[in-house]
Amino acid sequence: MDFASLPIHRRLQIIFFALLCSTFLLHATAALYRQPITTAVLHFLSTHLLLTTITSLSAGFLLLLHLRSRPYPVFLLNYSCYQPPSHRKCTYDMANDFILHAARFSSPEPIEFMRNIYSKSGLGNDTYAPPFMFEENQTPTMKSAIEEAKEGIFSSVDSLLSKTQIQPEEIDAVIVTCGCFSPSPSLSSLIMNHYKLKPDVKTYNLSGMGCSSGVISIDLAAQILRGAGRKIKNVLVVITENITLNWYEGEERSMLVTNCIFRVGCAAVMITNDPSRRSSAKMELTHSLRTHHGADDSAYHAAFQEEDVKGVTGISLTKDLIRVAGVNLREHIKILAPRVLPLNQLVTYVYSVVATTLSGGQYKPVMPDFTAAFEHICVHTGGKAVIEQVGRVMKFSDSVTEPARMTLNRFGNTSSSLVFYELAYFEAKGRVKKGDKMWMIAFGTGFKVGSLVWKWIRDSESEYDNPWNDSINKYPLKIW
């Protein structure tokens, strides 16, 4: 493995070791000549000119190699969140009418169960449903699923291109993530065709990765930009989900929950490594982390797509999901904490972990205060119980989870795009300032946990297409 391919911490260790050896050499030289270090160095340089020249050139080469091997900075140039038209709002009455007319249940029990879940879900009357629910026959078809995809994708991408002033021919790579809808041709091909992208554009289509795939897609974009040098400058990331063909028509309770909390949403994000665009970018990505806990059977089956006893396909959200989220969040932050926490919090955390280990598990590690590391936190908006679990595990106050709770109320669980609707909440409130640090965290099937850490390059500004513009003044609501 060459020096440039080593992880950054390993490169720093090598450089530190080289400096340590240099210091030792200077002291050894001083002792040899029994003179002060400065005098010894001058004598050494004058009598070993060739060696000095070679050493200086080597040191310069290593420094240049280190500077060149540093990863390119990655910036979020801008983003756009899709806001469906007002006539697509999924009010309680609309949802109730749809269930009564379109559902084919053998008893009223599933209807009452969904009513109960919906009433306790934390969702308000302003979330959005897919097009097929407003059609005359209310039948989910492939055509209506494509219509749902096109509406969200084209609207958000059009808005993003307008804001960034990036032309379609300037896009070097496209990443599309949609967990439960993977048509052929792919959604990335749909974008390629619609915007007439250049033929050498790199495209990636992610599916089956759940609500964390938005964070995962940004991480993938960052890895591409850091590894491709200047060959790839602009990556378009489209983060969406599709409800139409994933509406569950069976009667299994664990599968009916998705009907109650998932809603229409899409986000388009432009990620770049172009230094000339830094001044116009919103944020710089400073850290990203993905952990996968699928080796554990309970984590793997916590949210699972399968057929019920009658052969109807749906996604089962098990009762173990909340526990799994809490356990794997703790495992995730064990890796994240040393990278982001200030020294005082890190020392406290490490001490508590050591004490726990020495006590044989008698004591529990103290949860560090992550609000000391971040001014803003986008908590996974997967549902009321998930937000509450994250709040308990991380010791977050209601003010920290407020954006997540309000996003759930206004837009529901939009799956992989949810953290960007939450980001839009911060901006609509005008809470973000230059230099602020923001943490996005999301969970996904499998079971995966993903984190993105951003540093704001400039103060947030009011955007014409912020999906909160028509309602931000009434938030926060006292709903929990």
- Nearest partner of 123 among 391, 413, 339, 369, judged by Cα: 413
DSSP H helices, 262-308, are 297-300
Residues present in the chain in total: 480
Rounded (10°) CA dihedral 139, 140, 142, 147: 100
Pairing label, strands 376-378, 437-444: parallel
Contact 310, 110 (CB under 8 A): no
194 is catalytic: no
> Annotated catalytic residue: which of 376, 378, 409, 466?
376
Task: Look up residue 415 and give its DSSP letter.
Answer: G
E-only strand ranges, 179-254? 202-206, 234-240
9 is catalytic: no
Q: How far is the first Cα of the chain from the last one, in angstroms, to the nearest whole number?
A: 54
The CA R_g of the chain, rounded to the nearest whole Å, is 26
- Nearest partner of 452 among 439, 434, 435, 437, judged by Cα: 439
101 is catalytic: no
380 is catalytic: yes
* Segment 5-13 long-range contacts (CB within 8 Å, at least 24 positions apart): 6/69, 8/70, 8/71, 11/66, 11/69
Instruction: Give the integer Cα–Cα distance in Å for 233 and 477.
Output: 41
> Annotated catalytic residue: which of 43, 66, 287, 292?
292
Tokens in use for 31? 């002792």
> Annotated catalytic residue: which of 90, 178, 180, 211?
211
> Annotated catalytic residue: which of 273, 380, 409, 466?
380
Residue with tokens 């991408």: 157
Sheet-wide strand order for 266-272: 202-206, 173-178, 234-240, 266-272, 74-81, 283-292, 448-456, 437-444, 376-378
Q: Is 74 exposed, middle or buried (0-12, 13-18, 19+ CB in 10 A)?
A: buried
Contact 131, 144 (CB under 8 A): yes
Tokens in use for 271? 């990620």
Which H or E run contains 222? helix 213-227
- Nearest partner of 203 among 181, 229, 232, 180, judged by Cα: 232
Integer angstrom CA distances of residue 134 from 131, 295, 334? 6, 42, 46
> Mind telling me the catalytic residues?
211, 292, 376, 380, 413
